[in-house]
Amino acid sequence: MSTLQNIISIEPLGDCALVIHFAKVIDRNLNQHIHALAKQIQIQQSSSITDIVPSYQTLAIFYQPHQIGFNALQNIILQCNENTQTSTYQSRQVDIPVCYEHACAPDIALLAEHCQLSIDEVIKRHSHTTYDVYFLGFKPGFAYLGDLDSSLTMPRKSTPRLQVPAGSVGIGGMQTGIYPQITPGGWQIIGQTPLQLFDPTLASPCLLQPGDSVRFVPISIDEFERFGDSL
């Protein structure tokens, strides 16, 4: 097991949750290990676990304290961590159609100029990478994705937009992500998907889940509009 996968500490989070701390780094292998560990804990204690929330370097476990105590759950977690095999972790593959044309990508020319690349090369590099969903946050259904091609990094806008359309695909610093709802935002918008990333009427309201693998599939503006009409 990699040293990054060693648990640094397990701390109470109120009286019905705890948080597991790992090394303070953003690392793909560590994040995959966190998702694999989450699955193992869920399998071991499905009746006493109410929620599991992963992030870059932590894993929060919410549990029923009348069914299992902190110390007992901590021992199970340590055992699961020793037995978790990250190499066997299987992620769900999700393809996201994205229109990179100007009508859906108001900042793509600016980003191409900043990165000293053609627009076609920006699209190629952004869509030829497989991204991991590290965790969800900021807004319901907003997935933090890694790892962005380093040649596509660009700072956030100094003045955020007051309204970013739902489905907008953006780059902010060394991250890329998709805005699930209309919201203010400062990321550079380089595309838009017609898919609905968050639907509170569904049993599983978020299209993307922590641990998923994501690929962006370029589509034309005509395909974007037809896709939207069919929803």
Q: What is the pLDDT of residues 112-156, one digit of tens each?
A: 999 999 999 999 999 999 999 998 988 899 999 988 999 999 999
Query: Reduced to 3 states, what is the DSSP secondary structure of residue 209?
Result: coil
- Number of Cβ atoms within 10 Å of the Cβ of 124: 15
Residues 81 and 97 grouped into a single domain? no
Q: Is the pLDDT of residue 228 over 80?
A: no
Residues 139 and 177 grouped into a single domain? yes
Which of 88, 119, 152 is the endpoint of a domain? 88
Average pLDDT over residues 149-166: 95
Q: Is the pLDDT of residue 1 over 60?
A: no
Average pLDDT over residues 205-230: 90
Which residue range forms the structural domain that includes residue 216? 93-230
Residues 75 and 135 grouped into a single domain? no
pLDDT for the residue 230: 63
Residues 125 and 158 grouped into a single domain? yes
Residues 226 and 116 grouped into a single domain? yes
Q: What is the 3-state secondary structure (H, E, C) of 26-77?
A: CCHHHHHHHHHHHHHHHHHCCCCEEEEEECCCEEEEEECCCCCCHHHHHHHH
Q: The domain that contains 63 carries what CATH number? A: 3.30.1360.40
Output the furthest CA–CA distance in the chain (Å, rounded): 59
- Domains in the chain: how many in total? 2
Residues 119 and 198 grouped into a single domain? yes
Query: Reduced to 3 states, what is the DSSP secondary structure of residue 115?
Result: helix
Name which of 46, 50, 1, 41 is nearest 20 in CA terms: 41
The rounded percent of the chain whose pLDDT value lies above 90 is: 76
Query: Reduced to 3 states, what is the DSSP secondary structure of residue 136?
Result: strand
Residues 54 and 124 grouped into a single domain? no
pLDDT for the residue 146: 83
Residues 28 and 136 grouped into a single domain? no
Q: What is the pLDDT of residues 55-74, one digit of tens each?
A: 999 999 999 999 999 999 99
Average pLDDT over residues 37-65: 92
